[in-house]
Structure 1
Amino acid sequence: MATLLADKYEARKAEVNERFEQLRANEEELNRIFAEIYHMVGEVPIEVEDKYVSVARIFDTAEEIPESYKGNKYVRTRRDEIVSLISYAVGCMFGRYSLDRDGLVLADQGDTVDNYVAKVADGDASRVSFMPDADNVLPITDDEYFDDDIVGRFVEFMRAAYGAETLEENLRFVAEALGGRGTSRQVIRAYFLKDFFKDHCQTYKKRPIYWLFDSGKKNGFKALAYLHRYQPDLLARVRTDYVHEQQERYRAQMSFIDEQLSSAEKGERVKLEKQRRKLSDQLAETIAFEERLHHLADQMIVIDLDDGVKANYAKFEDVLAKIK
C-alpha cells in the first residue's frame, strides 16, 4: 500500500512532541511533590525549562528552534529524521536491518546474504521485501555508473518501503529535508557523496560500521562496505569489479568528448573542455587509488571484530576516508 513519507513524518513528530510534553509534565509534578514533602513550596522552581527535558523534541527546521531549547541535545529537526531514515535504508542495503523483521539481522562477523535470507524468510528469497546488496559494495559516484549504485538502491528501498505510487513525492520530501540544488536524485546523490559518512561517524562516535573507500577530493571513486560482512577478498573485488570499471568509463567518456571537440562551437568547446578536465582529474585520482588498493588487496587481510573498529579501520587507512 502506497504511503506518503510526509504523513509518516508528521505522525512521528506528533508522537515525539507529545512524549516531550508528557515528560515535562511528569517532571514538574515530581518537583511539586518533593517541594511539598520538604516544605519548600515557593522556594524551589517547579517548572522545567525546555533545555532540561531529556527526551527528543522535533522541529521542522533549525530556524524554528526557540532560544529556550538551545543546549538541549535531544532537539531534532526534519533533516535529522530523514538522515536517520537514510541510515536505516543503508542498513537494509547491507542486511544489517530488514523491512521484514525487527532488530538486527546480519551482525556477526562474516555474515552473508544467505544468512540474511535464512533469518528473514526461512531460506525463501521470494519472501524478502528488499534484498541486501549481493557483494557488500555500494558505489557512490557523481553519476549513476553501476547497477548497484547507492542512489539507485535507495530509490529501490523507498519503493519497497512506501510504495511505487508515492515514490517521486517521497523522494522530493527527502531531498527538501536534506536541502540542495537539482532534482531529488541529484540532491540525494550529493548527500551520499559529501555528508553521509560524516553523519554516520558522528552517530557512531567515530567508530563507523559502514566503511567508506575513498579515492580523494575529486570524487573519482567512493564505495561503502559493511564491516560485519567483510571478507579478505573484499578489496580485490572493489578493485577489479568497480575501480577498474570506473576507470574504463572515464576513458570512454574522455574519448567521446575528444570526438565532440573536433566540431564544437566556441561556447560548447569551453563546456566540453571543462568536463574533460574533470574526468581526467578523476581518472588520475582513481589510478593512484587503485595502486594503494592493489597493495592491500594482495595481502588478503583478515580482521577480528573483537579488536574493535578503530584497530581494524587503521589496517586500511590508505584507502578509506579519514574519520574526522
Structure 2
Amino acid sequence: MKTESIKRYAPQARTDFITAVTKQAAKYGITAGEVLPVEIKGDVTLIGDRPFPASISTPRDALVRRVQQLGFHQAMEQAAYSWFNRLCAIRYMELADYLGHGRRVLSHPEQDNSYQILEDCLDIDLPGLDMGRIRELKLDGTRDEELYRELLLGQCHALHQAMPFLFEPLDDATELLLPENLTKTDSLIKELVVAIPEDDWANIEIIGWLYQFYISEKKDQVIGKVVASEDIPAATQLFTPNWIVKYMVQNSLGAQWLSTYPQSPLKGQMEYYIEPAEQTDEVKAQLAAITPSQLNPEDLTLIDPASGSGHILVEAYELFKAIYLERGYRQRDVAQLILEKNLFGLDIDERAAQLTGFALMMKGRADDRRLFEQRVKLNVMALVDSVGFDAE
C-alpha cells in the first residue's frame, strides 16, 4: 500500500500528541517537576487554587500513580500513544462503517471541518451516554466543544465491550488526558483526517504502518545503543513486507493442510506456496506415518511470538477462513472460531499487542457484522517482562 502520507504524518503526530497530553496533565497539576496537592470540598476538587468537579479525583489519583510508577515522560508517552491509537482505530472503523450507528465520529462525509456525530447527536444511541446532557449541550448552541468531547468519550466507552484491550473502562486515567480544542480546524483530529487520504484506510495494514512511522524517530534515537526496557519495542519494531508474510503462512499452515488434503483447491490460492521436494520412498513412508489422515480446522493453531501489528496473523486469518469454508462452515460462523480457536499472538510491546488485537477484530468484523456483540476472547498477550510470570 502507499505509505507516503503516513510517513509524513505519523512522526510529527507523536510529537503533537505528547505535547497535547502533557498540557492536559499540567491542567490537573501534574508536571515533570511536581504534583500539586488536592483538596476536596463538598462536590468540588481543588487542585492548587483551581476548582474541578469532585468526580475528577479518582482518575487523577490513578494518573498520579501511573506517573509515579512509570516516570512522568514515559507516562505521557504512553498516554499520547493510547489516544493516537484510539483515534486511528475509530478513523478506520468510521470509514468501514463498523461503528454501528452509521455516523462518522472524526469527520463528515459531505462537509469539511465538521463532525457528523455532532450534527446527528440526538439520533445516536450509545451505551451509557447521558442523552439528557447531550440534548442540553446541543440545544445550548454554544457548547459544541464540550458536546463533542462527551460524544467522543461515549464512542470510546461503547467500544470497550468489544475491544477492552484498546478502549479502557469509564473513568480511566487516560481519559483525563484527552486533548482539548478537538473541534478546532487545527486539532489533532483534523490533522489525522486531512493528512491521510480516505483510500489509504481501505487496508488494515495501515495500522501497522502508522505505528512503524509513529515510533520511527524514537527508533533512530535508540538503534544501535544499549536501550532501556521501555525502548526495546522502538529499537526492534519492523513491519514485515506482505510477500514475506504470505510466504511464511502459506508454507506453514498452508503446507500442513495440503499434506493431508493434497487435492485441496487451497493450493491454487497460494501464490507463494512451494511444492515439497521429491523424496525417496523411505522418506515418503516416514512422512506418511506422521501425516494425519484428516484435520479438524478447529484444532489447528498458529502462533506469532512477536506479533507486532498482527500482519502475520491477519494473513493467517484469511487462510484459516478459506480452510473453514472448504470444509462447509458458514462464513458468518467462521470469524469467532478463528479468533478464539486458531490464532495466538505474543509481543513484548503492549501497544503492539493492542494493534494485533484490533487488526484481528477488524478482519472478523468484515465477515460477521455481529462480532462486536459477541465478547470475543482473543488469544493475544503482551508479555512485557517475565517478572512474576507463571508459565502455567
TM-score tier (shorter): 0.3 to 0.5
User: When the two structures are superposed, what TM-score results if normalisation uses the length of structure 1?
Assistant: 0.33
